Chains A and B, each alone.
Chain A
């Protein structure tokens, strides 16, 4: 449905654009279709590990879009951080929580229809607003690229130094927090060591409570 509305939007928006879309635009549209399709598969597939892999496709597609928008540095960051580390982390998470490999019939909760309603309504509202607001706006991509490493670095270290440093503190806090959260309690460690196969048993619950 989202796809259909997207196609509709494109069809509706195209007559207002250039009579012959440029190559960039065509490429952007094609990649965006792939990206959106990958995203949809990510949130609908019943195989949990596949979802992570489709997420890689989505994030990669987005990196291509960044490149098409001349933001190279962001694109490489996207590839490095998201595709390289975040997805790996997520895969670790899936494995550590013993996610079933293969099709799991209950990957979606009972809330699915409500979720679909809300999502479609939000999509309709957003698309309507965005199209209504920006249907006559064009980005001039000619000229010097606006997102090279040099430009981004200059702006980041000229105007954004303080937030940048604050961000480093935030990352440190997140690091410490993650360690504290994932560290096992001492008494618990021995219990889990003796009974490693049953993490959800009563003894563990009692220990926590």
Chain B
């Protein structure tokens, strides 16, 4: 099989995930897009592992082992990420990424400061 097929598929999936990370508003959807990117990497790892195990007589199977690790880490990541999103949602009442702008310059910080002053008063 031509190696370009899985490689190109992996690249396109990765860029799709990239678009999702950058363009989605809901934090859970962003996490989904991150999963897409991770899977694109996994596909790459597997494809090259298969290719190398045939051509270079490579026996460590590092690609597949790393894929397993990535899957495990992705599972952990999704758990932690969802916990964070839930905590943010409980605190702010929203999980929209573009409304979490505490570090912005300008009037929004003023509004926050006013809110804070109001709260302490």
Report A's interface with B, CB cutoff 8 A.
Answer: 2, 5-6, 9-10, 13, 16-17, 22, 24-25, 28-29, 32, 35-36, 39-40, 42-43, 48, 51-52, 55, 58-59, 62, 65-66, 68-71, 73-74, 77-78, 81-82, 85-86, 89-90, 92-94, 96-99, 106-112, 114-116, 118-120, 122-123, 126-127, 130-131, 134-135, 137-141, 143, 146-147, 151-152, 155-156, 159-160, 163-164, 167, 170-171, 174-175, 177-179, 181-182, 184, 192, 199-202, 204-206, 208-209
Contact (Cβ within 8 A) B72 A181: no
Total A-B pairs in contact (CB under 8 Å)? 302
Contact (Cβ within 8 A) B17 A130: no
Question: Which residue of A has the minimal Cβ distance to B82?
Answer: A93
Contact (Cβ within 8 A) A181 B87: yes
- Would you give the shortest CB distance from B75 to chain A, in whole angstroms? 6
Question: Which residue of A has the minimal Cβ distance to B39?
Answer: A62
If A43-B23, A155-B61 are given as contacts, then 16 extra A-B residue pairs at C-beta distance below 8 Å, sorted by A number, are A9-B8, A25-B5, A28-B5, A35-B9, A43-B20, A65-B43, A107-B25, A120-B15, A126-B15, A134-B3, A137-B3, A137-B4, A138-B2, A147-B46, A181-B83, A204-B91
Contact (Cβ within 8 A) B49 A97: no
Contact (Cβ within 8 A) B90 A42: no
Bound together, the chains give a CA A36 to CA B90 distance in angstroms of 34
Residues of the B chain whose Cβ atoms lie less than 8 Å from the Cβ of A90: 28, 31-32, 35, 78, 82
Bound together, the chains give a CA A90 to CA B72 distance in angstroms of 16
Bound together, the chains give a CA A204 to CA B91 distance in angstroms of 7
Q: Which of B65-102 contact A (CB under 8 A)?
A: 65, 67-69, 71-80, 82-87, 89-98
Question: Which residue of B has the minimal Cβ distance to A166?
Answer: B69
Chain B contact residue count (CB 8 A cutoff): 81
Q: B53 an interface residue at 8 Å Cβ cutoff?
A: yes
- Assuming the contacts A32-B9, A184-B90, asked whether A86 and B16 have C-beta atoms less than 8 A apart, the reply is no
Bound together, the chains give a CA A152 to CA B17 distance in angstroms of 28
Contact (Cβ within 8 A) A42 B18: no
- Assuming the contacts A122-B15, A174-B79, A181-B87, asked whether A156 and B65 have C-beta atoms less than 8 A apart, the reply is yes
